[in-house]
A and B are shown apart, each in its own frame.
Chain A
């Protein structure tokens, strides 16, 4: 059955349509793959019974000729998405045992189109992290290893479970979210494709909030076409999210394979990293200076995101849902609940956010960061007057060792140096595998597009994917 788990989503959907296999068979193969891969710690909740039930219902729909665009395809869901009746904890102790009585719009859209849920995927707590190490369930392990080494590497974060599960063939695709790079950096670290669409393309309703002006959902998959198929189902206007854009969702998959002749791609000189392979370095040397405020994006982000988080996470007070700790009075109960329930990184960001919003610092930090954010967005607007898309590295390095950056928050934050700009400006950004480094680890390239122009990214991504002919897969050790 293992060949069923190495299919692309597109090939699996074609196989289902041709009745080469049933969704029940496809789902069973993936359930078995999930069970045999617990060493990766990618799933925090497995829902095999639900999966088989959904697969059976899918086969019946198909027999009746009512199959939807994703009918019968087994997917993994990041634990940040609320799923009705299935624990949704944002990998935090404070939401331990929380079972939503409602379904997030994005996952509801996937089920509407016939997809099958395999379970919930591990992540950094409340999506705050770049290595998956802040998860209350412990870190996900990257299925990739350096050549000839047994050292455990991070799959990146925060969508590390989604990335590892897709790379290891545990699911045909996964949902993920991206506030500062949480889809694209894990995609780069695991040789997978991830796209953060334009802010407002996917509904945030039912997605546990981190920083509301930056959060966007998107898919992770093994090919550009698969990512297009998934985004097609996930996206769409939703009146329940006031920032959801009232626009039509184009046929994203139709853009894959389209000619890219005549498109102008900008290579921003500001997105250069030390130690890039010679041929990439040569390309960057010919790049243009077009995004002068790039180096200020990360510090601005680390004011804005914690500020919004400190406000969003105020709801975890132990009164209406989640953990409630003991205390002598109401304030003590709040304080103990939050001290026990939140992990160190989440606490650090809440404290930082509370500080920059507090009287006396609000203008100096928070308003200043919002002005820098405008500068960054303006840089992009000007660049897109000259080019159709921008090409950058996704992350400053390949996957690093678990524990390597755990003691230095700023070193960890630097992982997002090439991705946060895109969230601040609300633009679409895609990461796709470009090749392997000297250690045999995948490297990712990022494409950045104009607002609502994911289509061009899918065309360009498809062309780069074809040219790079990546095809590499992690060697199974788990």
Chain B
């Protein structure tokens, strides 16, 4: 399976990473190289095998839906690039 520059452009868009035009070809080559190597997985017979999503066998614990911590906007906002009056400031999204 090989990836072309157009696919890299599409995937980069999905991943929200700006990749300049001149990087698309080299990236396509690198990713294709990795995928070629990954192809060997097709040799493994996995018919009827249940996908393994977790290394832990115990079920996820449940807890009451209550606030355990909060009411501290200064800590929440301490690392924000931009804030006003205890709010995150983000670029205009809706025209």
Are A and B a genuine interacting pair, yes or no? yes
Binding site for B on A (CB under 8 A): 97-102, 199-200, 213-214, 239, 242-243, 245-246, 293, 295-296, 299-300, 302-303, 310, 314, 317-324, 327, 329-336, 338-339, 342, 347-348, 350-352, 354-355, 358, 365, 367-375, 377, 409-410, 424-426
Give 18 A-B pairs besides A242-B61, A339-B18, A354-B14 with Cβ atoms closer than 8 angstroms. Answer: A100-B79, A200-B56, A242-B60, A243-B54, A296-B41, A299-B40, A319-B88, A319-B90, A320-B88, A329-B91, A330-B93, A331-B16, A338-B16, A348-B27, A354-B11, A372-B41, A410-B34, A424-B55
Residue B4 at the chain A interface, CB threshold 8 Å: no
Query: A136 CA to B60 CA in the complex, in Å?
Result: 36
Q: Which residues, 59 to 95 on B, are CB-close (under 8 Å) to A?
A: 60-61, 63, 75-76, 78-82, 88, 90-93
Flag if B55 contacts A371 (CB, 8 Å): no
- Enumerate 8 A-B pairs (CB-CB under 8 Å) in ascending A order: A100-B79, A242-B61, A243-B60, A302-B34, A321-B80, A351-B17, A352-B34, A410-B37
Ranked nearest first, the 7 interchain pairs of A and B with the lowest CB-CB distance are A426-B55, A370-B51, A371-B46, A321-B79, A335-B18, A374-B52, A339-B18
Query: A59 CA to B15 CA in the complex, in Å?
Result: 50
Query: A37 CA to B30 CA in the complex, in Å?
Result: 36
Residues of B within 8 A of A339 (CB): 17-19
| The one of B19, B42, B63, B92 that contacts A239, using a Cβ cutoff of 8 Å | B63
Flag if B82 contacts A335 (CB, 8 Å): no
Residues of A within 8 A of B5 (CB): none
| The one of B46, B55, B63 that contacts A368, using a Cβ cutoff of 8 Å | B46
- Given A98-B79, A324-B81, A333-B91, A377 and B14 touching (CB < 8 A)? no
Flag if A338 contacts B18 (CB, 8 Å): yes
Closest beta carbon of chain A to B80's beta carbon, Å: 6
Query: A299 CA to B44 CA in the complex, in Å?
Result: 12
Residues of A within 8 A of B52 (CB): 370-371, 373-374, 377, 424
Residues of A within 8 A of B60 (CB): 242-243
Binding site for A on B (CB under 8 A): 3, 7-8, 11-19, 27, 30-31, 33-34, 37-44, 46, 49-56, 58, 60-61, 63, 75-76, 78-82, 88, 90-93
Residues of A within 8 A of B88 (CB): 319-320
Nearest B residue to A341 by beta-carbon distance? B17
Flag if B16 contacts A367 (CB, 8 Å): no
Closest beta carbon of chain A to B91's beta carbon, Å: 5
- Among B14, B33, B53, B91, max chain A CB count under 10 A is at B91
Query: A372 CA to B93 CA in the complex, in Å?
Result: 42
- Given A213-B55, A368-B41, A355 and B50 touching (CB < 8 A)? no
Query: A355 CA to B6 CA in the complex, in Å?
Result: 12
Query: A351 CA to B90 CA in the complex, in Å?
Result: 25
Closest beta carbon of chain B to A361's beta carbon, Å: 8
Residues of A within 8 A of B7 (CB): 355
Flag if A348 contacts B31 (CB, 8 Å): yes
Residues of A within 8 A of B56 (CB): 199-200, 243, 245, 426
Query: A303 CA to B87 CA in the complex, in Å?
Result: 38
